[in-house]
Amino acid sequence: MGRKHIKPGKVRLTEVAALAGVSPITVSRFFRNPDTVSPGRRLRIESAAKDLGYVPNLAARALASQRTEVIGVLIPSLTNNVFSDVLRGIYDAFEGSRYSIQLANTRYSVLQEERLLRLFLMQKPAGMIVTGVDQTAEGRAIVQAADCPVVQIMELGPDPIDMMIGFSHVDACFAAISHLLAQGCRRIGFLGARMDPRVQRRLQGYQNAMKIAGLFDPRLIVTTAVPTSTTMGGSLFSDLMLRAPDVDAVFCANDDLALGVLFECQRRHIAVPEQIAIVGFNDMEFMASAVPSLTSVRTNRYEMGLRAATMIMDEIEGRPVTERVVDLGFQVMERQSSQQRHAVAPAADRVSGTKW
Amino acid sequence: MGRKHIKPGKVRLTEVAALAGVSPITVSRFFRNPDTVSPGRRLRIESAAKDLGYVPNLAARALASQRTEVIGVLIPSLTNNVFSDVLRGIYDAFEGSRYSIQLANTRYSVLQEERLLRLFLMQKPAGMIVTGVDQTAEGRAIVQAADCPVVQIMELGPDPIDMMIGFSHVDACFAAISHLLAQGCRRIGFLGARMDPRVQRRLQGYQNAMKIAGLFDPRLIVTTAVPTSTTMGGSLFSDLMLRAPDVDAVFCANDDLALGVLFECQRRHIAVPEQIAIVGFNDMEFMASAVPSLTSVRTNRYEMGLRAATMIMDEIEGRPVTERVVDLGFQVMERQSSQQRHAVAPAADRVSGTKW
DNA sequence: AGCGATATTGACAGCGCTATCACGTGGTTG
DNA sequence: CAACCACGTGATAGCGCTGTCAATATCGCT
């Protein structure tokens, strides 16, 4: 036998329908698309629902309609505040819409990512946002099986799963190094932490630029698998000073590292930028107000999240998305910390890069 | 008439059961509690499920069982990295469990919070984590209607909804100001941004301490409704310097502000801590590596998230939660930026506070 | 008035899973 | 040896909602 007694206080569509004097299906329609119900009934249903304190049952809705309004979002880290900006954009875009977000973090592990994708699949999501382009073949297969709009964010690459929005980390770093070279720096160090795929690509951009300039020297590269932090910036810089005491500039793959380098320079009484120039990556808010203000590569993270979400919604709701791969570009925010040797400080930020 | 043809590729419990030669209900049992199925069938079901690529339908499960494994989490902001630490704790605790997290941000609005709670209710969550103690009466009612374990985090207060974990912001700030007073500071400024309930309580702690010391002066308080940022720290400090040029210490309700004050001091060639002492709040990672290292009030955010999640799980799974209101305390991390006048720098951090 | 076109409404069946109870088996007990 | 229990398994009947299509009401037009 099946269930027995229905809990007395329970309010279903049926109860609302009974009170409003209409059929359940009409109440259902009212909640999904009020315009298709005649004004008279509309009012009756509305007040009946309010009186009874009706709350729709999402599970029943999902089961009957064979779809959900859940958007799965997969990011590598909650700690790295790069992603909090992206997330903010995503949440802002879905704000007020009927979609809800299911967020999970992969901890920079493709196996975790695979597991989480499988988990998302059980929800039959309406859309998915995933970070980067380095999914496993299995991971791609799972995403494809979900049969919903998918946006890959943070990077660009060949062969998108569906849609894509990001920028070239290789180019962005190349531009930053080019800026330092233009400022007269020759012994430019590279500091990187965590070394996830995006940092790896920044390293690639660094190597390209240095090799083209004929200035490449592996001793100038100091990296660690440990996550980025200000303290780590200080230690990586200390390592660099041991390996290459003649370094005249430091590119940091993250702004936290750059801040740590600045502090370490203050501790060692190294003048910035006179003795050592500093460039960071991401252009976090504090970079502009540091003393000296710190040069960084601005990436449009909030917009990335916002547009990724918008692309998903457009796709779901049948509005054709023509630009399926979006390059958001970047800007090198040139500040005091990378001032040309013996030059005067600029009155305001100078900018170079793409898309501005 | 109802639906017509079943999609051919669709794999349901029934298909797995047919292939394994058992009844659907046995397959259902296998997925929920493998131990209750005999080893022979267990293997057959397992391989059948794998062969067919079976993916359980969560909506059907939720509808039939009348419950979900969704934990609703409500935080005020995604940008404020205070919450990313809490979140990390929450995600870590639920990692590998069968629960999934539904995260939403209220943007510091109780009306938003109410709307989101209503939304959560539709999901019939298994548990809820909400921020702070300032829910509206309506909001509390909604949470109670969800009839599931609830933990309020970040603060302590009378009359918890269900469970509670946090610390006293009043006491924490009081301790920080007491520290400054002990260091010989007399004209201690208060800088606050956003002015959410928790910052308001820190302000209260500041006022209590200053009044007891007979040093209270409203001109020393500078606040703004704008969100916290490093740049904002600089401007608030500039305002303070205009209002009270004789200020000898600054308490910042957030670490970002403290960093901004440090930079502004560097810009104005004000010696820290000799001319002005600086104390922040939250003890973000960068505080310890700044030059001079910045005193701050450490709050146990990661642990808060972790334990809140654990309390929820314990409650759901019938393990009695005896400590239903947990005070996590705080620590004043005494660093160079609040060194006693004309004293030598300490070799390492000194700590004062509760629970350490 | 009569016609088809359009807007509203309802009946029915079923989405994929699980709660509940019933039943069989084999072992233990008095 | 009947009575009992624990265990594994299955049959049945929904969980609360919506897709589908048919039925009815309403309207504009010739």
Which tens digits make up the pLDDT trace of A147-169? 899 999 999 999 999 999 999 99
CA distance B139 to A177: 53
Q: Please give the Cα distance from B274 to B288 (Å, whole number).
A: 18
Quote the Cα angle for B35-B41-B47, to 5°: 105
Whether the link from the prior residue into A218 is cis, omega within 30° of 0, is no
A7 touches strand C (CB under 7 A): no
pLDDT band at A94 (very low <50, low <70, confident <90, very high): very high
* pLDDT score for B245: 97
Q: Report which of A125, A127, A104 is spatially closest to residue A114, judged by C-alpha positions.
A: A104
- Who contacts A22 (Cβ-Cβ below 8 Å, separation ≥6)? A41, A44, A45
Nucleotide D10's nearest residue (CA vs C1') is B23
Residues of chain B with pLDDT > 90, as a percent, come to 83
Verify whether the Cβ–Cβ distance B55 to A118 is below 8 Å: yes
* Residue A36, pLDDT score: 87
**CA atom of B301 to C1′ atom of C30, Å:** 62
Average pLDDT over residues A10-32: 92
pLDDT in tens, A101-132: 999 999 999 999 999 999 998 889 999 999 99
Q: Looking at the domain B70-167+301-330, which fold is it?
A: Rossmann fold (3.40.50)
Mean pLDDT of all residues in A70-84:
93
Q: Between chains, do A55 and B121 touch, taking CB under 8 Å as contact?
A: yes
pLDDT of residue B267 exceeding 50, the answer is: yes
**Is the pLDDT assigned to residue B288 strictly greater than 90?**
yes
Which residue in B has a C-alpha nearest to residue A123's C-alpha? B58
Q: Is residue B108 helix, strand or coil?
A: coil
Q: Which of B71, B95, B103 would you mutate first to test chain A, the one with the most A CBs within 10 A?
A: B103
- Tokens, residue B255: 């670490």
Residue B254 clears pLDDT 70, i.e. is over it = yes
Please work out, in degrees rounded to the nearest 5, the angle formed at the alpha carbon of residue B106 by the alpha carbons of B100 and B107: 135
Distance CA B94, CA A119 (A): 14
CB contact under 8 A, A84 and B87: no
Give the mean pLDDT of B228-245.
Answer: 98
Residue B240 has a CB neighbour count (10 Å cut-off) of 22
State the pLDDT at residue B356: 47
pLDDT band at A343 (very low <50, low <70, confident <90, very high): very low
- In this structure, which topology does domain A13-56 adopt according to CATH? 434 Repressor (Amino-terminal Domain) (1.10.260)
Residue tagged 């590279």 (tokens): A190
Average pLDDT over residues B324-341: 94
pLDDT at B343: 47
Secondary element (H or E) of residue B164:
strand B163-167
**pLDDT tens-digit profile of B87-120?**
999 999 999 898 999 999 999 999 999 999 999 9
Beta-bridge partner residues of B185: none
Q: What is the pLDDT of residues A198-210, one digit of tens each?
A: 999 999 999 999 9
CA A23 to chain centre: 46
pLDDT digits (tens, 9 = 90+) for A78-93: 888 899 999 999 999 9
Long-range CB contacts (< 8 A, 24+ apart) of B320-323? Answer: B321/B163
Chain B residues whose CB is inside 8 A of the A13 CB are none
Q: Is the pLDDT of residue B243 over 90?
A: yes
Task: Assess whether pLDDT exceeds 80 at residue B349.
Answer: no
State whether the beta carbon of B3 lies below 7 angstroms from any atom of strand C: yes
Sorted by where each begins, the domain ranges of chain A are: 13-56, 70-168+301-329, 169-297+331-354
Banded model confidence at residue B10, pLDDT cuts 50, 70, 90: confident
Least confident of A148-157, B210-219, B343-352: B343-352
Q: Poorest-confidence range of A5-9, A92-96, B112-116?
A: A5-9
Domains B70-167+301-330 and B169-298+331-354 in one fold: yes
Which one of A103, A256, A290 has the shortest CB-CB distance to B263?
A290
Using a CB-CB cut-off of 8 Å, the residues of chain A touching B269 are none
CA of A69 to C1' of D28 (A): 40
**pLDDT of B65-79, one tens digit each?**
998 999 999 999 988
For residue B5, pLDDT over 60 is answered with: no
Instruction: Provide the mean pLDDT of chain A.
Output: 92
Stretch B169-173: mean pLDDT = 98
Chain mean pLDDT for chain B: 92
pLDDT score of A157? 95
Residue of A nearest to B59 (CA): A59
Q: Which residues of B touch A289 (CB under 8 A)?
A: 230-231, 233-234, 260, 263
C11 C1' – A41 CA distance, angstroms? 19
Please give the CATH architecture assigned to the domain spanning A169-297+331-354: 3-Layer(aba) Sandwich (3.40)
Q: Class assignment of domain A70-168+301-329?
A: alpha beta
Amino acid at B261: V
CA-to-CA distance for A303 and B209, rounded, in angstroms?
Answer: 44
- Looking at the partner chain, which of A100, A121, A291 has a beta carbon nearest the beta carbon of B102? A100
Confidence bin at A351 (pLDDT 50/70/90): confident
User: Among B171, B172, B182, B78, which Cα is nearest to B131's?
Assistant: B78
User: Which pLDDT does position B87 carry in this prediction?
Assistant: 95
Residue nearest to nucleotide D21 (CA to C1'): B1
Q: What is the pLDDT of residue A318?
A: 86
The model's confidence at residue B346, banded by pLDDT at 50, 70 and 90, is low
Nearest alpha-carbon partner for A260 in B256, B84, B287, B333: B287
Distance from CA of B81 to the nearest CA of A (A): 7
Task: Report the pLDDT value the prediction gives residue A290, as an integer from 0 to 100.
Answer: 98
Distance from CA of A225 to the nearest CA of B (A): 18
Of A58, A101, A230, the CB nearest to B123: A58
A245 pLDDT above the threshold of 70: yes
The predicted pLDDT at position A197 comes to 97
- What residue ranges in chain A does DSSP mark as E strands? 70-75, 100-105, 127-131, 150-155, 163-167, 188-192, 221-223, 249-252, 277-282, 295-299, 325-327, 330-334, 350-354
Within 10 angstroms of residue B356's Cβ, the number of other Cβ atoms is 11
Classify domain B169-298+331-354 at the CATH topology level. Answer: Rossmann fold (3.40.50)
Q: pLDDT, tens digit, for every residue of A28-59? A: 999 988 888 888 889 999 999 999 999 999 99
The greatest distance separating any two alpha carbons of chain B, rounded to the nearest whole angstrom, comes to: 88
What pLDDT score does B217 carry?
Answer: 98
Could you tell me how far CA B336 lies from the centroid of its own chain? 28
| Helix residue ranges per DSSP H, A228-334 | 230-243, 255-268, 285-289, 301-316
Residue whose entry in the numeric block shows the structure tokens 């509005």: A319
| Chain D bases closer than 7 angstroms to a protein Cβ | 8-21
